[in-house]
Amino acid sequence: MTLPAPPSGASELFQLLRDGVPRTRAELAELAGLARSTVGLRVDELVGVGLVRPVGDAVSSGGRPAYRFAIDPGARLILAVDCGARHQRVAVLDLDANVLALEMHVRPIADGPDAVLEDVAATARALLSSLGRAESDLIALGIGLPGPVEHATGRPLQPPIMPGWDGFDVPAWSMRELGIPALVDNDVNIMAVGERTVALPDTDDVLFIKIATGIGAGIVSGGRLQRGARGTAGDLGHVRVARGTGVRCSCGKEGCLEALASGGALARALGVATAEDVATLVGSGDARATAALQQAGRDLGEVLLSCVSLINPATVVLGSTLALPPLVDGVRAVLYDPALPEAARQVGLEASVTGDRAGVIGAGVLARDEALSTDGVTALLAR
């Protein structure tokens, strides 16, 4: 049997502190199987880049004071961005994924990567200035885009509503403009991670549904985000539904869920401009809008029946401006049909509690975890 090599570098040693337990140099040396002098040098490296700080004295047996060391959540920062079809939310987070500053601005994603990302960079610098922090405090960017993303490269893959973005190298842009690595993902994926982090930390199987310009799902199974072979896992918008016969979708086919139940489809049917306008109508008690939203929930529920059977989530979360009682009631009427097997009706169903912040929190968590991995810390020390 071959035993794993003990941690030898500062980045490997750092992983021993990821559990949040403060430890002395001696305790770290014992865990790592290294000489105390070596551990001392590694700890000094981590303190030097702001990842670790002394948090109090321990009982000393003589010599150097026996300080305990732990991760310093406020010394370094994460930039998190949630891009929608018409807007971007830009936030600065600490290493505990607390949102320190956030701003939303309107910029259609169809304006292209140069214009959108230029706005993102300018907003990030303004937020840092408002916090009294320097750009050099950033260690990573997490960004969600409203289209398929090849996770390994961070490049969008033929995104239907993002002209000019196909193959754009977002990580290279981030290194060039901000000097930090970027983790790029689909917008629904980051929302799923954000919702689970805040509201469902002990739930390993979550299906997060976003109803906006399109309809998509973020899948967390066995505690891991599932992206699929090409980054398109959870693309529910173009699944056909029974009521959709003869209804043309923007993709050129007919009968797609998106053509009936998306925010854009509902807005067109009700003669308003946006999903937010639909929500306003529902909030004012408009009977036609309420009935339309409830029917959209039933259409969505029809597709979710197959998802629940296939993925077997513990909880389905509905996240959007339209995750209002009529939509939830419509989904529930289909998903909890008494005629279905009991196992199919045991899934939890709820509206998002993180709301508009789900995306930036999820993007921040994903970017943080990548930046604080062994490879990520090695790269940070090299920079």
Q: Is the confidence at residue 59, as pLDDT, over 80? A: no
Q: Which pLDDT score is estimated for 61?
A: 54
Q: What is the band of 60 on the pLDDT scale with cuts at 50, 70, 90?
A: low
Residues 182 and 285 in one domain: no
Question: Is 266 in contact with 322 (CB distance < 8 Å)?
Answer: yes
Domain boundary among the residues 22, 39, 71 is at 71
* Of the listed ranges 5-19, 64-78, 114-128, 285-299, the one predicted with least confidence: 5-19
Q: Which pLDDT score is estimated for 62?
A: 54
Residues 217 and 331 in one domain: yes
Percentage of the chain beyond pLDDT 90 is 83
Closest CA to 322 of 381, 272, 375: 272
253 is a domain residue: yes
84 is a domain residue: yes
234 is a domain residue: yes
DSSP label at 4? P
Residues 229 and 367 in one domain: no
Mean pLDDT of 280-304: 97
- The dihedrals phi and psi of 319, each to the nearest 5 degrees, come to -125, 110
Residues 333 and 206 in one domain: yes
Closest CA to 48 of 22, 69, 29, 19: 69
Q: What total of structural domains would you count in the chain?
A: 3
- Distance, in Å, from the CA atom of 198 to the CA atom of 354, rounded to the nearest integer, reads 7
Cα-Cα-Cα-Cα torsion 125, 126, 127, 129, nearest 10 degrees, comes to: 90
Residues 215 and 341 in one domain: yes
1 is a domain residue: no
DSSP string, 241-308: -GGGTT-B-TTS-BSBHHHHHSHHHHHHHHT-SSHHHHHHHHHTT-HHHHHHHHHHHHHHHHHHHHHH
196 is a domain residue: no
- Distance, in Å, from the CA atom of 324 to the CA atom of 319, rounded to the nearest integer, reads 9
DSSP label at 346? G
207 is a domain residue: yes
Q: Which pLDDT score is estimated for 350?
A: 94
Question: Is 51 in contact with 42 (CB distance < 8 Å)?
Answer: no
Mean pLDDT of 128-145: 97
Q: Is the confidence at residue 172, as pLDDT, over 80? A: yes
Mean pLDDT of 326-345: 86
Residues 365 and 331 in one domain: no
Residues 145 and 233 in one domain: no
Q: What is the band of 345 on the pLDDT scale with cuts at 50, 70, 90?
A: confident
Q: Which pLDDT score is estimated for 340?
A: 77
- Distance, in Å, from the CA atom of 156 to the CA atom of 166, rounded to the nearest integer, reads 5
- pTM (2 d.p.): 0.91
Q: How far is CA 231 from CA 165, 204, 223, in A?
A: 15, 20, 18
Q: Is the confidence at residue 67, as pLDDT, over 90? A: no
308 CB-side CA count, 13 A:
25
- Distance, in Å, from the CA atom of 231 to the CA atom of 221, rounded to the nearest integer, reads 15
Residue 62, domain CATH: 1.10.10.10
Domain boundary among the residues 21, 42, 71 is at 71
- The more confidently predicted of residues 235 and 114 is 114
2 is a domain residue: no
| Residues forming beta bridges with residue 353, ordered by sequence position | none
Q: How far is CA 119 from CA 109, 114, 290, in A?
A: 11, 9, 36
Q: How far is CA 160 from CA 109, 169, 277, 336, in A?
A: 11, 17, 24, 34
Q: Which pLDDT score is estimated for 342?
A: 73
Residues 368 and 343 in one domain: no
Mean pLDDT of 204-215: 94
Kindly state the tokens that stand for 44.
């000094």
* Domain interval for residue 258: 201-352
- Distance, in Å, from the CA atom of 232 to the CA atom of 166, rounded to the nearest integer, reads 14
Question: Is 202 in contact with 162 (CB distance < 8 Å)?
Answer: no
Q: Which pLDDT score is estimated for 3?
A: 39
Instruction: List pLDDT tens digits, range 185-195.
Output: 999 999 999 99
Rg of the chain in Å (alpha carbons) = 23
- Which ranges in 222-273 belong to alpha helices (H)? 257-261, 263-270
* Mean pLDDT estimate for the chain: 92
195 is a domain residue: no
Residues 179 and 269 in one domain: no
Q: Is the confidence at residue 204, as pLDDT, over 50? A: yes
Residues 214 and 308 in one domain: yes
Residues 238 and 296 in one domain: yes
Residues 51 and 81 in one domain: no
Mean pLDDT of 307-317: 93
